[in-house]
Amino acid sequence: MVLQDLGRRINAAVSDLTRSANLDEKAFDDMIKEICSALLSADVNVKLVGQLRKSIRAQVSFKDLPTHTNKKRIIQKAVFDQLVALVDPHAEPFKPRKGKPNVIMFVGLQGAGKTTTCTKLARHYQTRGFKACLVCADTFRAGAFDQLKQNATRAKIPFYGNLTQTDPAVVALEGVTRFKKERFEIIIVDTSGRHRQEADLFNEMVQIQKAVQPDQTIMVLDATIGQQAEAQSKAFKETADFGSIIITKTDGSASGGGAISAVAATHTPIVFIGTGEHMLDLEKFQPRTFISRLLGMGDMAGLVEH
């Protein structure tokens, strides 16, 4: 599961240090070293790890600590703070409003899990009393129409797609217009996978966005992504200005450091995580609770609020 291993290693490094008899600067440096290699093994962006190393050093400032202070607590808090900073961009995620149409557009790299997650999210809102529906604006990928349609049917969610129209912006607009007329509250638009290296594909994303004017664009990121996460998510951010991130496939064994780096690179919050291939495999994401649970630091969240 995402970040679990990382959490375990960081946890061990911190408690090794705080339990050791002589809590000196060398031991502190060793701890930082261990934390950094754990982060690098978890695909956290190489540059980001460098920054984090500096921040922990600066926050603790080991040399200047008076001898009697509770070093253990200060070090724990510094590590916790820096990890939270990594996944918590302090931006409020989008909240749909009842009684009006909320258009949500999905974007992301090929195979990230957009189509699967669209239905999960529609269903999430549906069970919370929203009138939800799905629009297939992927006119490129073979079988994309049937994939979304079959999922929508299974979840009993109305679906719009058009097998003869090849322009995704046109289909998207057709679907959104129709569902707005029918007073749907959550209108989710699925789009094809794309990447920054292909300008035409990014252009197409802009066209769809112009056509449907989404209230929220969500970037879907695969938890296994490595060092390309930063460049790709930055490019998507610059072009589509997405307002939230969903990380998928967190049920795999990937540490998720790449996806986490995308959060840091784009200052955009993770709102949900995908935990499996089935419709119900979606969880809300709260950075603080997540990190403290991860580090087994039940009391840390409280400590940080002060």
Partner 1 sequence: ISGLFRNVVGGKVLTEEDLEKAMKGMEEHLLNKNVAREAAVHLCDSVKLELVGVKTGSFESIDAAIRQAMTSALAKILTPTSTLDLLRSISAANEPSALSRSKSRPYVISIVGVNGVGKSTNLSKLAFFLLQNDLSILIAACDTFRSGAVEQLRVHARNLAELSSREGRGSVELFEKGYGKDAAHIARDAVAYAASKNINVVLIDTAGRRHNDTRLMSNLDNFAELAQPDKIFMVGEALVGSDSVAQARNFNAAFKGKRTLDGFIISKCDTVGDMVGSLVSMVYATRIPVVFLGVGQHYGDLRGLSVEHTVKLLMQ
Ligand X SMILES: Nc1nc2c(ncn2[C@@H]2O[C@H](COP(=O)(O)OP(=O)(O)OP(=O)(O)O)[C@@H](O)[C@H]2O)c(=O)[nH]1
Which residues are near Mg ion by CB under 5 A?
A: 114-115
Please report whether residue 269 would count as binding ligand X according to CB under 6 A: no
Cβ-based neighbour number of residue 161 at 10 Å: 21
At a CB cut-off of 8 Å and minimum separation 6, what does 155 contact? 119, 122, 123, 126, 279
Closer by beta carbon to ligand X, 2 or else 86: 2
Does 150 help bind partner 1 (rule: CB under 8 A)?
A: yes
Binds 94: which of Mg ion, partner 1, ligand X, none (CB < 5-8 Å by kind) = none
Q: Give the residue, chosen from 10, 14, 87, 112, that forms a contact with partner 1 under the rule CB under 8 A.
A: 112
Least distance CB 71 / partner 1 (angstroms): 28
Nearer to ligand X, 101 or 274 (CB): 274
CB atoms within 10 A of CB 145: 18
Nearer to partner 1, 214 or 258 (CB): 258
If one asks whether residue 274 binds ligand X (CB under 6 A), the answer comes out as yes
Binding mask 89-128 for ligand X (x = CB under 6 A): -------------------x-xxxxxxx------------
Q: How far apart are CA 3 and CA 38, in angstroms?
A: 10
How does strand 102-108 pair with strand 186-191? parallel
Burial of residue 72 (number of CB atoms within 10 Å: 0-12, 13-18, 19+): middle
| 193 is a contact residue toward ligand X (CB under 6 A) | yes
CB of 113 to Mg ion, least distance (A): 8
Tell the burial category of 246 from Cβ atoms under 10 Å away from its Cβ (0-12, 13-18, 19+).
Answer: buried
Alpha-carbon span 96 to 104, nearest angstrom = 9
For the bound state, the minimum distance from the C-beta of residue 203 to ligand X, rounded and expressed in Å, comes to 16
Q: Does 46 bind partner 1 (CB under 8 A)?
A: yes
C-alpha 132/C-alpha 100 separation (Å) is 11
Q: What secondary structure letter does DSSP report for 258?
A: H
User: What is each CA distance from 235 to 199, 204, 262, in whole angstroms?
Assistant: 11, 14, 11
Task: Name beta bridge partners: 248.
Answer: 222
Give the Cα separation of 44 and 262 in Å (integer): 9
* Closest approach of partner 1 to the CB of residue 137, in Å: 15
CB neighbours of 62 closer than 8 A, spacing ≥ 6?
A: 25, 28
CB of 97 to partner 1, least distance (A): 30
Minimum distance from residue 224 beta carbon to partner 1 (Å): 4
Q: Are 275 and 283 in contact (CB under 8 A)?
A: yes
Does residue number 33 form part of the binding site for partner 1 (CB under 8 A)?
no
Smallest distance from ligand X to CB 285, Å = 13
Give yes or no for a contact between 155 and 119, defined as CB atoms under 8 angstroms apart.
Answer: yes
Euclidean distance between CA atoms 119 and 132, whole angstroms: 10
> In whole angstroms, how close is the CB of 61 to ligand X at the nearest point?
41
Interface with ligand X, residue 243, by CB under 6 A: no
Q: Which of 29, 34, 251, 283 binds ligand X (CB under 6 A)?
A: 251
Q: For binding to ligand X (CB under 6 A), which residues are involved? A: 108, 110-116, 138, 141, 144, 192-193, 195, 220, 248-249, 251-252, 274-277, 281
Residues that bind partner 1 (CB under 8 A): 37, 40-43, 46, 109-113, 115, 140-151, 154, 195-198, 222, 224-229, 231-232, 249, 251-255, 257-258, 277
